[in-house]
A and B are shown apart, each in its own frame.
Chain A
Amino acid sequence: MTTPSAIYKHGDELEKHFQVDINNARYKTTNGSTTGPSEHVLNAGQIDRDRPSDPKLLDNTESSSPSYTPLSLLRMQLTGLQDDINIFLTERMEVAKMKKSKLASDAEEKRIEEEIKVLLDGGDDDNSETENEQ
């Protein structure tokens, strides 16, 4: 049976493939690690009644080695895949945020350096302009 997969592309620089590992426990549950209720509502006292339903067992399956319906297998694999994608995208967002703040701090550093340089050179544009006018 084929398993679902996903590809993330960003221009030419990045291509990330997401695959299901059928032996890994994260692809054998319908309760994902990133798809639960937000912490904010839980802290406010929310009781979670919106959980996904458990995977459906096939009729006549043995409890020692449960077999699931094809759609339930797909749901479990997609839950794991969604977790992988969510974690990857969150990391990307963090990187983007850091880049942005680094750019901002670089720009600030450059501005201060320029200011100091101008002062050390003895340049004071406003005064010199005034002097010229006089």
Chain B
Amino acid sequence: MVNLNTIAPKNGRSYYIALGLEGSANKLGVGVIKHPILKEQEIGDHSHDCHAEILSNIRDTYTTPPGEGFLPRDTARHHRNWCVRLIKRALKEAKINDPRLDLDVICFTKGPGMGAPLHSVVIAARTCSLLWDIPLVRVNHCVGHIEMGREITKAVNPVVLYVSGGNTQVIAYSENRYRIFGETLDIAIGNCLDRFARTLKIPNAPSPGYNIEQLANKCKNKDQLVELPYTVKGMDLSMSGILAYIDSLAKDLFKGNKKNKILFDTKTGEQKVTVEDLCYSLQENLFAMLVEITERAMAHVNTSQVLIVGGVGCNVRLQEMMAQMCKDRANGQVHATDERFCIDNGVMIAQAGLLQYRMGDVVKDLKETIVTQKFRTDEVYVSWRE
């Protein structure tokens, strides 16, 4: 029987407060979350409904000029130099006057992610922990997304589609683990979209994927898709070949290679396909693949709920396509969150970390705070669920 109230809050209060630090990629997030003590949480699985109150959710993104990705060294430098500023702002907004007294726990991302940026953030977490004498909790980034999505949408036991710049996974809960039913065999969907945005040399702000979505919305030939490889392999999918193929199309388009029959009319030399058409076709193709494997996972675990998390989860077209599939299944529901919670943030780390803390999972020695680039979702023992 799950009891979320085994560890008492600090100073005899009736609520817990956690600080969450996230920096596994180019977003640095700091968030503060509050959980009241609820009687019903002593007798069963109510981890999706903690009555969480978000006291602050601050984010700063490291962006590079169009055509460039983010290098680990520069991203780590961004996090190193902004971390303290963001922590100060988050605490001020949350009206935390004395962190020593007011914070129960500090949660940080252990992985997966880019090593150097993860390292910048964990140093800040260790320092705050020592400075204020507050325990630390290590959080799996993917589990952070899932728990935040569950808390916001109140989805009890959904199939989770986790789509971001570094991850593409279809996940379902079973026996204290978030099990991966299907995943990418090579690059993540966000990486595929971001790298195509680099080829197109479109801005990286606010995010490359968002700018692709805006271009796709302007497509005037929505009934004539550019044919792309469709690479679903059982429950898994592959996207590197699609990227290489569409990249070559875009390059031919920019060069004006009239020999390319897909892009130009061979007789008249007239351009048949625009950049907007390519963006639209790429999105439709990739999202169709995601919908297919998600539906298969739903059939496996016999559930009608889908929760979309991760940065790409903000994409309205993906949400529409998923909703269409769910509508075709009896009583299907799609749960998604907006950019505050879809895109990497500190609150999600605080949410998952606080659940862990309330189940007694804390760091006992600083040696345990080593971050890791590889940390699979199913490695985490989910003690806060039945």
Residues on A facing B (Cβ under 8 Å) = 35-38, 40-41, 44-46, 50-53
Task: Evaluate contact between B73 and A46: CB separation under 8 angstroms.
Answer: no
Task: Evaluate contact between A45 and B82: CB separation under 8 angstroms.
Answer: no
B78: A residues at CB distance < 8 A? 50
Task: Evaluate contact between B73 and A38: CB separation under 8 angstroms.
Answer: yes
The minimal Cβ–Cβ distance linking B194 to chain A, given in whole angstroms, is 16
Residue B77 is within 8 A (CB to CB) of chain A in the complex: yes
Known: A41-B74, A50-B81. 6 other contacts (CB 8 A): A37-B77, A40-B71, A41-B64, A44-B68, A50-B77, A50-B82
Residue B99 is within 8 A (CB to CB) of chain A in the complex: no
A52: B residues at CB distance < 8 A? 80-81
A40: B residues at CB distance < 8 A? 71
A-B contact pairs, 23 of them (CB 8 A): A37-B74, A37-B77, A38-B71, A38-B73, A38-B74, A41-B65, A41-B68, A41-B74, A44-B64, A44-B65, A44-B68, A45-B65, A46-B64, A46-B65, A46-B68, A50-B62, A50-B74, A50-B77, A50-B78, A50-B81, A51-B81, A52-B81, A53-B85
The minimal Cβ–Cβ distance linking A64 to chain B, given in whole angstroms, is 29
| With A46-B64, A50-B62 as contacts: A41 and B71 at CB distance below 8 Å | yes
Interface residues of B, count at CB 8 A:
14
Residues on B facing A (Cβ under 8 Å) = 62, 64-65, 67-68, 71, 73-74, 77-78, 80-82, 85
The minimal Cβ–Cβ distance linking B99 to chain A, given in whole angstroms, is 15
Report the Cα distance A28→B207, complex, angstroms: 37
The minimal Cβ–Cβ distance linking A49 to chain B, given in whole angstroms, is 9
The minimal Cβ–Cβ distance linking A90 to chain B, given in whole angstroms, is 13
A38: B residues at CB distance < 8 A? 71, 73-74
The minimal Cβ–Cβ distance linking A71 to chain B, given in whole angstroms, is 10
Report the Cα distance A75→B91, complex, angstroms: 22
Report the Cα distance A38→B77, complex, angstroms: 10
Residue of B nearest to A37 (CB): B74
Residue of B nearest to A35 (CB): B77
Residue of B nearest to A47 (CB): B65
The minimal Cβ–Cβ distance linking A32 to chain B, given in whole angstroms, is 10
Report the Cα distance A71→B82, complex, angstroms: 16
Residue of B nearest to A75 (CB): B84
A51: B residues at CB distance < 8 A? 81
Residue of A nearest to B78 (CB): A50
Report the Cα distance A47→B74, complex, angstroms: 12
Report the Cα distance A38→B62, complex, angstroms: 14
The minimal Cβ–Cβ distance linking B319 to chain A, given in whole angstroms, is 33
B73: A residues at CB distance < 8 A? 38
With a 10 A CB-CB cut-off, give which of B71, B74, B80, B82 has the most chain A CB atoms: B74
The minimal Cβ–Cβ distance linking B57 to chain A, given in whole angstroms, is 21
With a 10 A CB-CB cut-off, give which of A37, A38, A41 has the most chain B CB atoms: A41
Residue of A nearest to B62 (CB): A50
B67: A residues at CB distance < 8 A? 44
Report the Cα distance A35→B85, complex, angstroms: 18
Report the Cα distance A115→B307, complex, angstroms: 67
B80: A residues at CB distance < 8 A? 52
B71: A residues at CB distance < 8 A? 38, 40-41
What 5 pairs across the A-B complex have the smallest Cβ distances? Answer: A45-B65, A50-B78, A52-B81, A44-B65, A44-B68
Report the Cα distance A59→B80, complex, angstroms: 26
A45: B residues at CB distance < 8 A? 65
Report the Cα distance A38→B64, complex, angstroms: 12
Report the Cα distance A46→B74, complex, angstroms: 11
The minimal Cβ–Cβ distance linking B331 to chain A, given in whole angstroms, is 48
With a 10 A CB-CB cut-off, give which of A45, A46, A50 has the most chain B CB atoms: A50
The minimal Cβ–Cβ distance linking A83 to chain B, given in whole angstroms, is 14
Report the Cα distance A63→B85, complex, angstroms: 25
